[in-house]
Structure 1
Amino acid sequence: MRTTPEGLDPPTALATMEARFPSVEEHFRRVYSLRLPRHLAVYAAFWAGLSDNAARCLSERLGLSPWGITEYFEDGGLDRVTRDGLDERLHCRFRRDPAEFVTVMGGDTDGLHFGLWYDDPAELPSFIAYNYARDSAETWSHHAPTLLHEIRIRLADAKRDVELDGPEHYEGMPPFEPLEAALDAYADADAAALAADGPVTWAGAPRPRVAITIGPVLPEDAGDPRAAESGERLDTYRDPARAAPVIAAARSELAAGRPALALVVGGELHWLDADEYRPESTELLTGAYRALGRDALAGIVEVHHAHRDLRSVDIF
């Protein structure tokens, strides 16, 4: 993303990425049928404008790098071709990622990656989520509204580690100050991007607690997701005979026009990633998303489940 050793100055970086935003937005909408937030252009500008010291701090102390759809903002980013004709929606999509998760940043441990979280394809993403794909692969969130907010959270954690461990354990590491200055330089633009997009509909909405992912936002007539039973169900799935009544109940609720249980059970089976439950996971998730009018998420599930065994999530 960076174009010179010292990076672009903030006004130039912002002007460059904001000029690219309409083309990236159109491409993203066409491929994903989702809305792109303006703060992603600010995030791309932030990376393009990093000094060497700030970039080293991000890499060596926070372990972060731009990834996923952020790459659309790179020079020639919209001209890339996927290998073997694969669907672009598979790029940086790990096998247990929920459909709501679209990767925008990578970490440096246990498959850590960060994504925009889309509760509803008709709306802007609610917040930033993250997932350790090569660990237990649950999806979590600090509810940060932008990537720069998420980086500030990670920076605060890194500074706290120094306080707890003692500075002698971090001798020779790049300082925090250049990164803090870079974040400050783009703070106003980040806030302006949020203001330009307007209120984020589902950011603060109440959610049921689900054992392995962010709870879904559901209309009142969607039925009961029985979220409190989520952890117990994960144990039930170990035995297909015990799982069968759970899946049957989800199917029945879905057929009756109450997709909440099908959505949550389908998501649990997706996370479980067991071969014997793949058809049921696809059936329940796509049926629930379509019943909720979230067809774009159903489409992501279909392409993801059809290519879930790819050896690499980097498809370009």
Structure 2
Amino acid sequence: MQQGQREAVAERVARDWGLELPEPFFVFAEFLDALDPEARRALGDIGLSPCGITDLFRDPAAPPRDGLDARVHGRYYRDPPEFLTFLHGGSDGLHFGLWYDDGRTCAGVASYRTLDGGGIDRTARTPLEAVRAVLERCWRDLDDDPSDDEETAAHRTRLGLLRRALTGFGTADRTETGLAHAQAYDLAAPPADHDRVTTLDGGGALVAGDTVDDRPPHNAADEYRFATHMYAVLDNAEALRARHTEALRRCASGDPAEALVLGRDLHWASGGDAHREALAAELLVAAYRALDRPALGGVAAAHHRHRALPRVEVLVPGPA
């Protein structure tokens, strides 16, 4: 990757999204550029393919199609405004995004499956850590596979080449492989995060202030009980109307916490309901404005306008 290309991508994201791309993202791009054909095939073997914001390395000036907003490129229906997609994961709509909950700087990597019932996973700190986790899960599956045929052996060889390429750019300190890697880095319960508040999507919201339910810190809630309670609120039209009104009142009075968390919950649980979509957008735009996070407010508004898109490819890159 040439310096000019790097600068052009960074400038495009800063201009159109209002966000700063982190150094680990550029390391990830360099890793992709350096892959030989067998390692690149291995990346496909495990279902990973660059997408979203990574597409800008092909053409930093790529315009959006059909007059759409560039900020919805790679943006899936349930993606919170804090989520900036850069990698597709293959099965069940798994995809990965840079996570921007302060409205400007990246706080790590998030992922979830659009076709699954699970929430957002924020275990990985960098794109390379996310790729390594997927690779080692596949290695664990090979370890559990009793077959020893030629195809399995070739697959294992390609994965080994991919691991060698990856550790040349990052995660070399992680000497564990397969199940041991998952046990060391993926399966441990994350500690309570007192800077963030529990949200229905599992990602947590970076905000201080009071919430109607006195929500616990991120990673400290009983997820099942919290989800049961919040879906009951969202399914009750009168209760939801009261929550929405109270959230906007608090936000106007200088406490945007309830507007942010309720907006995030409604965005996640919209399920194609136009009323919920509209309430979510109103709350989120108000909360981000109060929190001085204009980039996220812009993304929330753009996403609301385009949530019905049948596909997430919006930018049209020029010839490679």
Same fold (TM over 0.5): yes
Unaligned runs of 5+ in 1: 1-15, 190-203
Q: Give CA-to-partner distance per residue, 1:156-214, whole Å, 9 cap, x none.
A: 2112222233354872652221011101222299xxxxxxxxxxxxxx76323323231
Query: Residue 55 of structure 2 aligns with which residue?
Result: 71
2:115 partner amino acid: R
CA, structure 1 residues 173+275, in 2 after alignment: closer, same or farther (shift >3 Å)? farther
Aligned length: 281
Q: Give CA-to-partner distance per residue, 1:191-244, whole Å, 9 cap, x none.
A: xxxxxxxxxxxxx7632332323111223xx32363358421222212312322
1:170-209 matched pairs, under 5 angstroms: 171=152, 173-174=154-155, 175=157, 176-187=159-170, 206-209=195-198
Q: Give CA-to-partner distance per residue, 1:111-153, whole Å, 9 cap, x none.
A: 111000001123x2100001212333732211x2211111111
Question: Which residue, 98, 101, 105 being the options, matches 2:80?
Answer: 98
RMSD: 2.3
TM-score (norm 1): 0.82
CA, structure 1 residues 225+105, in 2 after alignment: closer, same or farther (shift >3 Å)? farther
2:110 partner amino acid: A
Q: Does 1:165 align with 2:152?
A: no
CA distance in 2, matches of 1:177, 1:111: 25
Tell me the percent identity.
33
SS of equivalent to 2:135: helix
Q: Is the 8 A contact 1:127 1:146 kept in 2?
A: yes
Q: Does 1:135 align with 2:134?
A: no
Question: Which residue, 6, 12, 16 being the options, matches 1:31?
Answer: 16
Q: Is the 8 A contact 1:114 1:131 kept in 2?
A: yes
Query: Residue 269 of structure 1 aligns with which residue?
Result: 266
Q: Is the 8 A contact 1:37 1:125 kept in 2?
A: yes
CA distance in 2, matches of 1:184, 1:225: 46
Unaligned runs of 5+ in 2: 173-192, 217-224, 316-320
Query: Residue 245 of structure 1 aligns with which residue?
Result: 242
1:258 partner amino acid: D
TM-score (norm 2): 0.81
Q: Is the 8 A contact 1:17 1:42 kept in 2?
A: no
Q: Give CA-to-partner distance per residue, 1:33-69, whole Å, 9 cap, x none.
A: 1111122222112111111221121111x21011111
1:147 partner amino acid: P
Q: Is the 8 A contact 2:200 2:230 kept in 1?
A: no
